[in-house]
Structure 1
Amino acid sequence: MFVLVNLKAYPCDPVAVAEAAADVAGDTEATVAVAPQAADLARVADTGVTTYAQHVSPNGHGSHTGSTLAESVADNGAVGTLLNHSEARRKLADIDGSLDAAARADLDTVVCANNPEQVAAAAALGPDAVAVEPPELIGTGTPVSQADPDVVEDAVDAAAAVDPSVDVYCGAGISTGDDVVAAEELGASGVLLASGVAKADDPRTALEDLVAPLD
């Protein structure tokens, strides 16, 4: 099971979360990854945790002020990137360009999508994984696997119909180990979460509880 913790722009200590995630990952068969802000990538990667960027731009080197280059992300220790999170939506052409940029830098890719139809469109672009995240459930603590499990199953089917090699992750409202187990039972091979860890009083305990049922 793949667990990706998106720190967004929350006022947490990214290094402390990363150290906790690295320790917890060492005690379970799950892969626990952390996606910090771009400025924190190197510090987070130095903890040894699997590190993802929150986004990479579709362009390469050149006159592109404000870009997050895939090459720079990789140079700072990231091994993958999120794309098209509901808080940073992109057009399909831009997603495609960012996937090409990630491929040049040998980064794994997770493309977020709101529903099974968007999952199919994203899977057609050839990412490593897609994450289905109904935006109305993000940050609510109510997981999509509980609120609308058909969305997860339909997303798994939609991706498989387009490209069976694309993994499907479940996002939005994931906060407990039971949520992770439910996502796995619905066919997801990973979960994407944020506030359940980044805003927790004790991120280490939150992570331990999250992966405990997977042992």
Structure 2
Amino acid sequence: MFVLVNLKTYPCDPVEVAQAAKEVSEESGVRIGVAAQDADLARVAETGVETWAQHVDPIEYGSNTGHTLAETVAEAGAEGTLINHSENRLKLADIDGSVQAAERADLETCVCANNPAQIGAVTALGPDSVAVEPPELIGGDVSVATGDPDIVTDAVEAAEAVDEDVEVYCGAGISTGDDVESAGELGATGVLLASGVAKADDPRAALEDLVEPLA
């Protein structure tokens, strides 16, 4: 099970979270990654935690002011990237371009989608993983694994019907070890979460609770 913590633009200390994630990962044996803002990628990567970008654009080197180049985040220490998060939606053609850009820079890719139908569509683009995240549950107190379990199992089936090699992650409302365990029981091989760790008074304690059922 992969636990990917998205720090979004929350007012947290990215290095503190990254250090906690690195330590908890080593102690538990659970794979944990941290998706940080571009400006924080190098500092987060220096902690040794698995570091992810929050987005890359479908561009190459050139005149692209204000865009995120895959090679740049890779050079900063990112090993993977989210694409098409619900808070930064892209057209299908641009998702395809972003996946190709990430692959060019040797970045692992996770493409987010709102529902099983979209999961099937983005799986066809050949990312390493996809994540189902109903927008109405993002940032809430109810996880998709418990509040809408059918959407997780349907997403897993939709992805498998297109490409069995693409991993399926579960996002939206994940905040406890029980949520992570439920996601796994529904067929997900990873979880995406944000506020449960980034907004926690004690990020390490929050991470320890998340991985406790997996250790």
Give the TM bin, normalised by the shorter chain: over 0.9
Offset at 1:27? Answer: 1.1
> Post-superposition, which runs of at least 4 consecutive aligned residues in structure 1 deviate over 6 A?
none
Instruction: Work out whether 1:25 is the aligned partner of 2:25.
Output: yes
Cα deviation code 1:92-123 (max 9, x no counterpart): 00010001100110000000000000000010
Offset at 1:180? Answer: 0.3
Q: How does 1:27-42 map to 2 (within 5 A)?
A: 27-42=27-42
Q: Which position in structure 2 is the counterpart of 1:93?
A: 93
For 1:35, what is the secondary structure of its paired residue?
strand
Cα deviation code 1:163-191 (max 9, x no counterpart): 00000000000000000000000000000
For 1:81, what is the secondary structure of its paired residue?
strand
Q: Which position in structure 2 is the counterpart of 1:139?
A: 139
The letter for the 2-side match of 1:101 is A
The letter for the 2-side match of 1:40 is D
Question: In 2, distance between residues paired with 1:55 and 1:125?
Answer: 16
| TM-score of the aligned structures, taking structure 2 as reference length | 0.99
Q: Which position in structure 2 is the counterpart of 1:173?
A: 173
Q: Which position in structure 2 is the counterpart of 1:127?
A: 127
Question: In 1, distance between residues paired with 2:141 and 2:196?
Answer: 7
Question: In 1, distance between residues paired with 2:88 and 2:142?
Answer: 21
For 1:66, what is the secondary structure of its paired residue?
coil
Q: Which position in structure 2 is the counterpart of 1:185?
A: 185
Q: Which position in structure 2 is the counterpart of 1:200?
A: 200
Q: Which position in structure 1 is the counterpart of 2:43?
A: 43
Offset at 1:29? Answer: 2.5
Instruction: Work out whether 1:211 is the aligned partner of 2:211.
Output: yes
For 2:127, what is the secondary structure of its paired residue?
coil
Q: How does 1:73-92 map to 2 (within 5 A)?
A: 73-92=73-92
| TM-score of the aligned structures, taking structure 1 as reference length | 0.99
Question: In 2, distance between residues paired with 1:29 and 1:155?
Answer: 27
Q: Which position in structure 2 is the counterpart of 1:64?
A: 64
Question: In 2, distance between residues paired with 1:80 and 1:71?
Answer: 11
Task: Say how many residue pairs are matched.
Answer: 215
Considering only aligned residues, what root-mean-square deviation do their CA atoms show, in Å? 0.5
For 1:161, what is the secondary structure of its paired residue?
helix
For 1:58, what is the secondary structure of its paired residue?
coil
For 2:40, what is the secondary structure of its paired residue?
helix
For 2:212, what is the secondary structure of its paired residue?
helix
For 1:82, what is the secondary structure of its paired residue?
strand
The letter for the 1-side match of 2:152 is V
Cα deviation code 1:21-68 (max 9, x no counterpart): 000000122110000100000000000000000000110110000111
Q: Which runs of 5+ in 2 are unaligned?
A: none
